[in-house]
Chain A
């Protein structure tokens, strides 16, 4: 060390500077420590972790009493590969207007009569004062027969901008080409299919409804058995943007939220009788399908899902409507052009505690392969799905969701589309539910809820299990979280099994291919009825094989705002022949066949009908 630098050789000035510097270091250090302490005390809490759309594990049934387990069947999302590039627009821009949450429906239909199932997807649109940067339209996809689709919206004339909700498909003018009815938040629209080109005929037909009435489900059915297809339309709530904003619905814990239907009054349904010549008459008022509260006089209905069924086996098609936060309707067809509403009396109006649930999608089937019919309704979150079943083949119905394995497993999910379908072709109708919430941030206030939710597939165990339905733990891509709304099925690739379409609100539609390889036999049947109901809507087919009789109805309107393909699919399991096939045609006549090839699609023409 250089002696010249030892401390006692420093100048006083240097010493002072050093001392000052040491002091300043100390001050800095103290300041830093103080600052750190202050910062530690007063800093904002870290923001809560971002909500991740974690996969909900559907709760396993508390009672594992099933003695058989679902076969391994996966559904694969082939949307992109299949050419389905459809994104639903819900118009949301921040004010949380109720119509943004509901849409939209989907339809499988053979619009070009080439024998395969094409796909129509309903779209909403941007609100006028928030135009967005694209122009969303309805979409029609043509199937090339192998499950690949091409967007033909423009060339078909269906690239329409509309506040689309649901769709109904039916050949109302009996020209051999299925037509299309689009329900809307505003005026509804009817498009006549002219050999693959759709032309709007709403005003001429007289089925536009009111501009200010929010229509949802729709069904072409022959309610008066005069042979042609009439139109039933259900409407939701009495909504205006002004009232929605005025009510300013808020969820504690979230702030401004989407309004609930119980904040709005109900609406009436429409029934249009087909008068022929392309025109309909509005017979709603006299048909008994408008239900009013006896005290307030206000309409009760807040309709979403529709199913037509002959629940009392009198030969006349009845109608069941799933209402959201209002009692469900069951309109019994009296055979004289009018209906009587009997939901309460027949046991389908409420859940088992007498509560009106948030009913959305609906389907009906003889899922036990006996005379009993089951009506399934998808309900709101923290409400079990309803499964109303007749007893000994006759009404009234009882809600058997709990004992049939569906109730507990469905309770948490918010269910829209529901469908009976035999996905594994074993001869028993299974059950699919499309789920998804309304609120993006619901998880912040209800830990058990998520915006996107996986679909649920329930395998029908038949008589081997105390409860018919067993939740399928791994159905492949169906278990991805989705903001599910419509669920629709069709055999898009002509391999005999049913593929599934699930629409999403504000997201892309998803097409799932059924990849079952169980080797089960099957039969698909396409019916051709007498004019004017060429597609035999309303026909019932009973197939008996191996001592078991399965029943299917030609009724494309099912689920949520959607339409299924017209052909009927029967799974035969291990049975390699059919004992009998009985067709009950819509006009009341019937036909029995014993020689029918299996593992194929068969067209059966009603005697006297033109092929």
Chain B
């Protein structure tokens, strides 16, 4: 008898090929529930969570994995599964992935229909998403499950209000108002009902009381201002309008509180931090917010840069530098961190280090207008005028919206020795292109009045421009420029009168030597002669870069990604 044989090579090959082919990965059991659950549970497809912060991505992925494992384990533990779906729903809801959240709540409800939480949360999601009919249906079901959950009255009140069922809204909100933890919020919405009904006294009473209970609820100021306005109390209206900010009254809703804290995220704190910097200029608050957010997400380098900004603005320059260095240790190419470090070093009188850092930024990002502009200013102060001019030019090429650079480039070229006629030609073009930028006109008036080049010196043009500038913007420099133009035109008496006007405007605030210079010029006019002064004095603040004020870039320089 022939011995039993193994399968033939052909069959083996087929089998091997079947295993060797790139077969698809196992499906997520939530996207395709196991057969035992298919008829009962909704599929929850995977979604792109790249838009969320890292901690959120990890939480969502981790929760999905655990839930998938549970589903695949064949368990019939509805409670556990419901909790899993509930946790996942909360995460999705927290990060505004509403479709997925709704499916998860639905599954939790299917698994545990008697659990009030799932129906309430599903209703809350629908309410916030504007699905009022669905929200109403769910809240009514929730009411049957737990008639005593008082925050539900508040939510129903909001819902009835949003759907123009004011009597029902009123009744529900009155009930909620009897709960101390809900009173402020309920009164806020009752006040809105009053406004809709044109009951302005009622609105004033309800809203004032809401504020008394919850003074931080600055959002209440807006409808209260409207009430006062309608009552003819304009000043009170203005007062409340000035105090209005977006902060809703507190509502003691334990379930919603639990939902909002299912995951401690950093972005909320980072957002508050940015708001504190940009809108409130409250740098201490900003520092606290960023600190808190970074405890949760210490690897968020963009947030750490914003934290450094807040520290600097809050007077903690050393701490700011430390944070910036920390960022650069992790990522030496972080442009914004490099930029602020350069500014900080420059402010600490380390010009060479600062310049080198600006140059490094420009290697990383050749069109970084901030680096070009600040480097230009630094070079200018070092009297490296031609290099400064080149950097101003580069800044303008990167962005046309750096007005000081339009003039400073030409001033730097002038100081570097370029001919007046070349400067005049370019300055004329810029005056035409930017008629609202008065410093360009000021500079051109002085050039036309004082240039040593006869082809450039032109009293008519100087006077025409000065007559356009000074009456519209009668500042001391502009009046002085008009005086120069008048003198250039031979109108010395007029020039003297204007110069006296300037002296009268500024003498109380000028140091003695500057006042002396003005009086010397006046004396020249009184002798019917032109004053001996440079076209563009080196100490003229309108014709040179201002000394670095590091607060400005730390506060105002835009960050595309602040966290």
Contacts and interface: CB of A to CB of B under 8 A. Distances in A.
A347 B56 CA distance: 39
Given A295-B279, A295-B281, A24 B24 contact: no
A252 B96 contact: yes
A243 B560 contact: yes
A407 B223 contact: no
Interface of B: 1-2, 4-5, 7-8, 11, 14-15, 18, 23-28, 31-32, 43, 45, 47-52, 56, 95-100, 102, 128-133, 136, 161-166, 192, 195-196, 198, 219, 221-223, 225-226, 229-230, 237-238, 241, 244, 246, 248, 278-281, 367, 400-401, 435-436, 556, 558, 560-561
28 contacts: A12-B2, A31-B14, A31-B18, A42-B23, A43-B24, A45-B43, A212-B400, A242-B367, A243-B560, A248-B561, A249-B51, A252-B97, A253-B47, A253-B100, A254-B48, A295-B279, A344-B244, A352-B195, A354-B221, A354-B244, A403-B164, A407-B164, A408-B163, A408-B164, A443-B99, A445-B96, A448-B130, A448-B131
A2 to B, nearest CB: 26
A49 B295 CA distance: 41
A350 B222 contact: yes
Interface string A270-296: 000000000000100100000001011
A127 interface: no
Contact of B51 (A253, A293, A347): A253
A45 B48 contact: no
A347 B133 CA distance: 29
Interface string A240-272: 001100111111111101000000010000000
A282 B437 CA distance: 13
A1 interface: no
A115 B136 CA distance: 53
A27 interface: yes
Interface stretch (A55-63, A183-191, A316-324, A596-604): A55-63
A407 B164 CA distance: 8
A411 B162 contact: yes
A35 interface: yes
A355 interface: yes
B238 A24 contact: no
A246 B560 contact: yes
A252 B49 contact: yes
Interface residues of A, number: 73
Contact of A391 (B5, B102, B198): B198
Nearest to B435: A282
A63 B98 contact: no
Nearest to B221: A354
Contacts of B2: 12, 16
A595 interface: no
A448 B102 CA distance: 11
Given A212-B400, A354-B223, A446 B98 contact: yes
A447 B102 contact: yes
Contacts of B4: 23
Contacts of A41: 26
A160 interface: no
Given A407-B162, A408-B162, A448-B131, A347 B229 contact: yes
B192 A62 contact: no
A201 interface: no
A20 B5 contact: yes
Contacts of B278: 295-296
A446 B95 contact: no
A446 B223 CA distance: 30
Nearest to A28: B11
A413 to B, nearest CB: 9
Contact of A398 (B15, B219, B230, B237): B230
Given A41-B26, A44-B24, A295-B279, A398 B226 contact: yes
Contacts of A35: 18
A397 B5 CA distance: 94
A407 B161 CA distance: 10
A306 interface: no
Nearest to A408: B163
B167 to A, nearest CB: 10
A48 B45 contact: yes
B11 A31 contact: yes
Nearest to A31: B15
A382 B130 contact: yes
A255 B237 contact: no
A403 B196 contact: yes
Nearest to B49: A252
A59 B133 contact: yes
Contacts of B280: 295
Contacts of B164: 61-63, 402-403, 405, 407-408, 467
Contacts of B25: 42, 44
Contacts of B49: 252-253
A130 interface: no
Contacts of A391: 198, 230
Contacts of A405: 164
Contacts of B98: 445-448
Nearest to B60: A252
B428 to A, nearest CB: 17
A44 B31 CA distance: 10
Nearest to A244: B560
A543 B396 CA distance: 58
Contacts of B50: 250, 255
B106 to A, nearest CB: 11
Contact of A396 (B15, B24, B52, B229): B229
A24 B133 contact: no
A44 B244 CA distance: 53
A353 interface: yes
A412 interface: yes
Nearest to A240: B399
The list of the 8 closest CB pairs from A to B, nearest first, reads: A250-B51, A354-B222, A246-B560, A253-B97, A44-B24, A255-B48, A45-B27, A382-B130
Contacts of B14: 31
Contacts of A352: 192, 195-196, 223
A391 to B, nearest CB: 7
A396 B51 contact: no
Given A62-B164, A382-B130, A253 B560 contact: no
A444 B99 CA distance: 7
B224 to A, nearest CB: 10
A408 B31 contact: no
Nearest to B198: A391
B214 to A, nearest CB: 15
Contacts of B7: 23-24, 27
B129 A382 contact: yes
A250 B47 CA distance: 13
A173 interface: no
Interface string A30-49: 01000100110111111010
Nearest to B279: A295
Contact of B27 (A43, A61, A412): A43
B416 to A, nearest CB: 29
Contacts of B23: 38-39, 42-43
